[in-house]
């Protein structure tokens, strides 16, 4: 028997066993694949393709390279030119391109591309291409006479870089770098908004996660231990907000928390605060945190509940009978067993919070805005590449978190309900 | 029926009642004294109140009325972790996130014991259950029987004088269960601990216990050593619940002392001992164990009444032969015969006469 297993196993009619098995299963496999095909197509078309497209946009932009071919070829021929003092041929190529942009109506596109790294260039380009046809040589002097900004080394650096279709510039901008006359440098503190917002988003998401955990833990425990009839009712209370429109939930927080809102009225009514001392709990960070904690709470409760549900009460009883106080029992026996739920809930809430847009947009005001609001603002301003770069960085940060989670806790221990 | 509270009792339930819903009583007036070093089993069908009693003793349920005393001290208000009672649970309740060693270390750590002392005790406890090599394993890596041993070691590691066991062998297969019964019994004897053991398995109760309290309907039906319980059941519930049992319904015809002559509903007269049907003319249920039924006249006492029987079926069971007989109109009367060399071979359809010693037939409440 041991010898036989060494040889290639065959079926009774002599076909190799592996082949026979594959044939026997192929029909079932084909059918299974056809069943998941619609979902697969849906995911590819609506999820993978847009994400891939966005990621591509974060390092690809041909707005300048395509509309300024003369200058682009000059840059290729003279990679080591001096941005502080470009020669006449460079200016000649630039004026030729500006004139073509006027004809091809690509001025805005080219200007917008340079505008990412050198703010204020769209108007410069528009003016330049309007006048390009009439400019007399030498083009260097006449262009600088038209607008002295044409001599700025930063602009020439920006144009040189933009003459390549692929670039990392958007990531520089998204990390608060600034293109100066001497190249890319750290921006001034006042202008450092992206990293600050990233930092703030992560801190706020952390606070929201902790708040959700503190609020959800007792509720989940109650859900898991109450008799079926009562826990079903409680579960409906947990899920009811889940089924309510996000917009309704968020705006009801506005009604509650605004300065003339229910909470302030109540506090003034019972004399706890004076009419002038009404608290500002809306359109700032407080509003964002309160509303987002509420909105994300079910995402913490459900994984916790699913883990707690299967912890037999006999563990706690065993711990008590072994001499542990109720606190020790909780800390050393109950809590460690809920860890997969805590980890899953926290990961879920944190990742959702980091990318949350609508709630901070509605109740956050200026102070309560998060990184997603900045991505949205860039999209609104048609700064697609910058929005894509910030989004890609956010995605990378979340993937790093996910990787850390897998290393520390193990993704197979994740329980999402 | 229940023993009166003794002053020297180690564990005592005094007039304990328990209700969960305020409408019905799960435990009705329980009085039970357990001596030091005793192995007492609470036996009964599910819902009889035995587990509730154990939970009250452990401190997980509070008595609605009455007192529970441990070593003479009322413990009604003592929280479970201060009772110092070891407990083995039905599903073992080993902490899955700790190794075997950590599981055993837990009760010692919460008692603030030093590392060296802890290690010595853990080693001793693991050796006690022959699991010394498993300290670094996780419970999930162990078989059911091994987990059972660890649960036992954990309940014993902090040297409790009282250990409660709630159907600890319920999840094991038959062979392992029987093996563990002996091990638990030996541990009980060698450590001198008091054990309160809950089970619904009468075989387990009979093999292990010093005394068995048979529970039904929230009351102790009988509290007695295994042999008494089996041979001298005091009411028909105990007779039915413990072991196999033949029932014959009739009326007391004559009563001399506790010797009774019972007229069956089908008219035959049989010998019996009056247990709790002690008046002439009373209806009674006579209970006879299958192995005490005789069909050879020389095995019966002189002058014994016999009753006609017809063999319906013979079942060969190896060590014994089991005959199903038609007796007094019913055809589920069982007789067990030892499978000895010279044993008379019966055949289905054969007509015989069966009888018994009067003390083996017990006239109980109908």
Provide, as residue numbers in chain B, all residues whose Cβ is less than 8 Å from the Cβ of A315.
93, 95
pLDDT at B1 over 50: no
Domain assignment of residue A333, given as a range: 194-413
The last residue of a domain, from among A27, A42, A57:
A57
Q: Percentage of residues in chain A with pLDDT exceeding 90? A: 37
How far, in Å, CA of B330 to CA of B266, rounded?
10
Residues B52 and B160 in one domain: yes
- What is the arithmetic mean of pLDDT over B118-146? 91
pLDDT digits (tens, 9 = 90+) for A66-109: 899 999 999 999 888 888 888 999 999 999 999 999 999 998 88
Question: Does B290 fall in a domain?
Answer: yes
Q: Which candidate from A315, A317, A323 shows the least CB-CB separation from B107?
A: A323
Which range, of A25-29, A46-50, A89-93, B274-278, averages the lowest pLDDT? B274-278
Interface predicted TM-score of the whole assembly (ipTM), two decimals: 0.81
Any domain includes B148: yes
Q: Are residues A255 and A320 in the same domain?
A: yes
Other Cβ atoms less than 10 A from the Cβ of B253: the count is 14
pLDDT in tens, B168-227: 988 888 888 888 899 899 999 999 999 999 998 888 999 999 999 999 999 999 999 999
Confirm whether A127 is domain-assigned: yes
| A321 with B86: Cβ contact below 8 A | yes
Tell me: do B194 and B302 sit in the same domain: no
Residues B30 and B148 placed together within one structural domain of the fold: yes
One domain for residues A224 and A130: no
- Give the phi and the psi of residue B325 in degrees, each rounded to 5: -115, 155
Q: Are A322 and A394 contacting, i.e. CB atoms less than 8 angstroms apart? A: no
Q: Do A323 and B86 touch (CB under 8 A)?
A: no
Single out the residue in A174, A190, A206 at which a domain terminates. Answer: A190
Does B5 fall in a domain? no
Residue A408: band (very low, low, confident or very high) from pLDDT cuts 50, 70, 90 = confident
Residues B68 and B121 in one domain: yes
> What pLDDT was estimated at residue B298?
82
B343 to chain A, minimum CA–CA distance in Å?
49
Look at residue B315 and tell me whether its pLDDT is greater than 70. Answer: yes
- Same domain, yes or no, for B109 and B174? yes
How far is the alpha carbon of B195 from chain A, nearest alpha carbon, in Å?
15
- DSSP element (H, E) containing B2: none
B-facing residues of A in 303-332 (CB < 8 A) are 312, 314-315, 317-326, 328-329, 332
Residue B315, classified by CB atoms within 10 Å of its CB into exposed (0-12), middle (13-18) or buried (19+), is exposed
Domain boundary among B187, B211, B236: B236
What span, in angstroms and rounded, lies between the C-alpha atoms of B102 and B95? 9
**So what's the pLDDT on residue B332?**
86
Q: What is the pLDDT of residues A150-182, one digit of tens each?
A: 988 999 999 998 999 999 889 988 888 888 888
The number of domains in chain B is 2
Clarify whether residues A221 and A312 are in a common domain.
Answer: yes
If asked whether residues B217 and B69 sit together in one domain, one would say yes
The domain in which residue B112 lies consists of: 11-236
- A414 pLDDT band, cuts 50/70/90, is low
Same domain, A245 and A171: no
Residues A256, A232 share a domain? yes
Cβ of B84 and A325 within 8 Å?
A: no
Domain presence at residue A166: yes
Tell me how far apart the alpha carbons of residues B208 and B205 are, in angstroms, rounded to a whole number.
6
Q: Is residue B4 part of a domain?
A: no
Q: Say yes or no: A238 and A132 in one domain.
A: no
Look at residue A5 and tell me if it is in a domain: no
Query: Which residue of chain B has the CA closest to A340?
Result: B97
Q: What pLDDT shows up at residue A6?
A: 56
A232 and A135, same structural domain?
A: no
Mean per-residue pLDDT, B2-24: 78
**What is residue A1's predicted lDDT score, i.e. its pLDDT?**
43
Both B49 and B24 in one domain: the answer is: yes
Asked if residue B215 and residue B165 are part of one domain, the reply reads yes
- Cα angle for residues B316, B322, B327 (degrees, 5° grid): 145
pLDDT in tens, B339-361: 888 888 888 988 998 888 888 88
For residue A318, the chain B residues in CB contact (below 8 A) are 87, 89, 93-95, 154
Q: CB pairs below 8 Å between A and B: how many?
A: 69
Helices (H), chain B: 50-58, 100-109, 115-128, 144-156, 174-191, 202-208, 226-231, 236-241
Among residues B186, B217, B236, the one where a domain terminates is B236
pLDDT tens digits, residue range A235-287? 998 888 888 888 888 888 888 888 888 888 898 989 888 888 888 888 888 88
Give A12→chain B minimum CA distance, Å: 39
Cβ contact, residue pair A317, B86, below 8 Å: no
Kindly state whether residues B297 and B189 are assigned to the same domain: no
Q: Which residues of B touch A330 (CB under 8 A)?
A: none
Number of structural domains in chain A = 3
Is 60 exceeded by the pLDDT of residue B69? yes
**A181 belongs to a structural domain:** yes
Let me know whether B59 and B166 are in one domain: yes
Residues B167 and B77 grouped into a single domain: yes
Statement: residue A35 has pLDDT above 90: yes
Average pLDDT taken over every residue of chain A: 88
Q: Give chain B positions within 8 Å (CB) of A338.
A: none
Q: In which band, very low, low, confident or very high, does the pLDDT at A417 lie, cut at 50, 70 and 90? A: low
Is residue A46 located within the same domain as residue A101? no
Instruction: Work out the pLDDT band at B2, boundaries 50, 70, 90.
Output: very low
Residue written as tokens 């999840």? B171
Q: At what angle do helices B144-156 and B100-109 cross, to 10 degrees?
A: 20
Q: What share of chain B is helix, strand, coil (3-state, %, to 5)?
A: 30, 35, 40
Distance CA B240, CA B229 (A): 11
B125, part of any domain: yes
Average pLDDT for residues A119-142, to the nearest whole number? 87
Return the pLDDT at A3: 47
Residue of B nearest to A322 (CA): B107
CATH number of the structural domain spanning residue A225: 1.10.3720.10
Residues of chain B contacting residue A324, judged by C-beta atoms under 8 Å apart: 81, 106-107, 110
B302 shares its domain with B285: yes
Helix ranges, A44-146 (H): 49-57, 63-67, 69-77, 88-104, 107-117, 121-131, 139-146
The distance of B132 to chain A (nearest Cα, Å) reads 21
* A 332-351 → B contacts, CB under 8 A: 332-333, 336-337, 339
Nearest chain B Cα distance for residue A336, angstroms: 7
Distance from CA of B77 to the nearest CA of A (A): 15
The helix/strand/coil state of B339 is coil
Q: What is the pLDDT of residue A416?
A: 58
| A322 vs B contacts (CB less than 8 Å) | 81, 86-87, 106-107, 110, 154-155, 158
- Nearest chain A residue to B81 by CA: give it: A323
Is residue B130 included in any domain, yes or no?
yes
Residues A247 and A180 placed together within one structural domain of the fold: no
Nearest CA in chain B to A313: B93
Q: Read off the pLDDT of residues A299-335 as tens digits, 9 standing for 90 and up.
A: 999 999 999 999 998 999 999 999 999 999 999 999 9
* Domain-located, residue A333: yes
Using CA coordinates, name the residue in chain B closest to A320: B81
B6 found inside a domain: no
Residue after which a domain boundary falls, among A57, A84, A108? A57
Nearest Cα residue in chain B from A335: B97
Instruction: State whether residue A17 is helix, strand or coil.
Output: helix
Query: Which of B201, B236, B271 delimits the end of a domain?
Result: B236
| CATH code for the domain of B103 | 3.40.50.300
d(CA A25, CA B226): 60
Residue B15 has pLDDT above 90, yes or no: yes
Query: In terms of domains, do A263 and A201 share one?
Result: yes
Candidates B81, B83, B158; nearest CB to A325: B81
Q: How far is A325 from chain B (nearest CA, A)?
A: 6
Could you tell me if A167 and A295 lie in one domain?
Answer: no
CATH number at residue B326: 2.40.50.140
Q: How confident is the model at residue B70 (pLDDT cuts 50, 70, 90)?
A: very high
**Residue A4 predicted with pLDDT over 60:** no
Instruction: Indicate yes or no: CB of B154 within 8 angstroms of CB of A322.
Output: yes
pLDDT tens digits for A208-223?
999 999 999 999 999 9
A297 and A224 in a common domain: yes
Of B84, B90, B110, nearest to A328 by CB-CB distance is B110
For residue A3, tell me if it sits in a domain: no
Which pLDDT band, with edges at 50, 70 and 90, does A232 fall under? very high
Residue B115: is its pLDDT beyond 90?
yes
The average pLDDT across A286-302 equals 91
**Coil/strand/helix, residue A106:** coil
Residue B23 belongs to some domain of the structure: yes
């Amino acid at each position: 028997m041991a010898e036989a297993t060494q040889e290639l196993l065959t079926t009774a009619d002599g076909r190799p066993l592996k082949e026979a098995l594959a044939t026997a299963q192929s029909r079932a496999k084909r059918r299974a694949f056809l069943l998941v095909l619609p979902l697969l197509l849906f995911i590819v078309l609506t999820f993978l393709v847009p994400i891939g497209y966005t990621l591509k946009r974060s390092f690809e932009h041909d707005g300048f390279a395509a509309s300024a071919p003369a200058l682009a070829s000059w840059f290729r021929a003279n990679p080591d030119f001096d941005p502080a003092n470009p020669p006449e041929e460079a200016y000649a190529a630039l004026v030729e391109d500006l004139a073509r942009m006027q004809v091809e109506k690509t001025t805005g596109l080219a200007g917008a591309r340079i505008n990412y790294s050198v703010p204020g260039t769209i108007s410069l380009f528009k003016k330049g291409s309007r006048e390009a046809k009439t400019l007399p040589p030498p083009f260097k002097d006449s262009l600088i006479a038209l607008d002295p900004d044409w001599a700025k080394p930063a602009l020439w650096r920006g144009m040189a870089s933009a003459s390549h279709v692929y670039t990392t510039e958007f990531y520089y901008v998204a990390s608060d770098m600034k293109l100066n006359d001497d190249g890319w440098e750290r921006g001034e503190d006042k202008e450092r908004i992206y990293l600050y917002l990233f930092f703030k988003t992560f801190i706020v998401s952390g606070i929201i996660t902790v708040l959700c955990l503190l609020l959800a833990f007792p509720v989940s425990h109650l859900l898991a231990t109450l008799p079926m009839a009562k826990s079903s009712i409680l579960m409906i209370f947990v899920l009811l907000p889940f089924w309510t429109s996000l917009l309704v939930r968020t705006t009801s927080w506005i009604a509650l928390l605004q300065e003339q809102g229910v909470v302030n009225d109540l506090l003034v009514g019972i004399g706890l605060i004076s009419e002038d001392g009404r608290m500002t709990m809306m359109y700032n960070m407080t509003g964002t945190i309160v509303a987002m904690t509420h909105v994300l709470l079910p995402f913490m409760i459900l994984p916790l509940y699913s883990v707690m549900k299967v912890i037999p009460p006999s563990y706690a009883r065993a711990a008590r009978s072994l001499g542990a106080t109720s606190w020790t029992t909780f800390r050393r026996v109950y809590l460690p067993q809920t860890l997969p739920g805590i980890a899953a809930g926290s990961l879920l809430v944190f990742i959702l919070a980091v990318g949350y847009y609508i709630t901070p947009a509605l109740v956050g005001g200026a102070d309560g805005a998060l990184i997603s609001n900045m991505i949205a603002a860039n999209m609104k301003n048609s700064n697609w590449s910058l929005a894509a770069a910030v989004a890609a960085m956010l995605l990378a940060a979340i993937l790093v978190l996910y990787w850390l989670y897998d290393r520390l806790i193990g993704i197979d221990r994740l329980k999402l309900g | 029926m229940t023993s009166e509270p003794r002053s020297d009792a180690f564990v005592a339930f005094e007039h304990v009642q328990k209700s969960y819903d305020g409408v019905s009583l799960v435990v009705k007036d329980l009085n039970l004294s357990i001596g030091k070093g005793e192995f007492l089993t609470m036996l009964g069908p599910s819902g009889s109140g035995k587990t509730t009693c154990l939970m009250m003793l452990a401190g997980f349920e509070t008595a609605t009325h009455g007192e529970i005393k441990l070593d003479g001290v009322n413990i009604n208000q003592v929280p479970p972790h201060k009772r110092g009672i070891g407990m083995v649970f039905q599903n073992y309740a080993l902490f899955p996130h700790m190794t075997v060693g950590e599981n055993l270390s837990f009760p010692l750590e919460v008692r603030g014991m030093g590392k060296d002392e802890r290690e010595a005790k853990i080693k001793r406890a693991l050796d006690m259950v022959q699991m010394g090599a498993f300290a670094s394993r996780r419970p999930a890596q162990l078989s059911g029987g091994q987990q059972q041993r660890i649960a036992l070691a954990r309940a014993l590691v902090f040297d409790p004088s009282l250990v409660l066991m709630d159907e600890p062998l319920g999840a094991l297969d038959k062979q392992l269960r029987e093996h563990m019964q002996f091990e638990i019994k030996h541990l009980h004897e060698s450590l001198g601990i008091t054990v309160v053991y809950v089970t619904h398995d009468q075989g387990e109760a009979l093999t292990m216990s010093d005394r068995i309290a048979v529970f039904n309907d929230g009351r102790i039906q009988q509290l007695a050593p295994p042999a008494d319980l089996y041979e001298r059941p005091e009411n028909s519930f105990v007779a039915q619940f413990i072991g196999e049992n033949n029932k014959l319904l009739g009326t007391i015809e004559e009563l001399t002392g506790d010797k009774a002559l019972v007229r069956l509903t089908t008219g035959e007269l049989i010998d019996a001992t009056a247990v709790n049907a002690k008046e002439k003319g009373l209806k009674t249920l006579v209970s006879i164990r299958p192995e005490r039924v005789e069909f050879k006249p020389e095995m019966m006492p002189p002058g014994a009444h016999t009753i006609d029987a017809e063999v319906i079926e013979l079942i060969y069971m190896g060590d014994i032969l089991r005959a199903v007989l038609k007796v007094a109109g019913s055809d589920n009367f069982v007789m067990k015969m030892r499978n000895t060399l010279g044993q008379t071979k019966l055949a289905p359809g054969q007509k015989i006469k069966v009888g018994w010693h009067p003390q083996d037939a017990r006239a109980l409440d109908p």
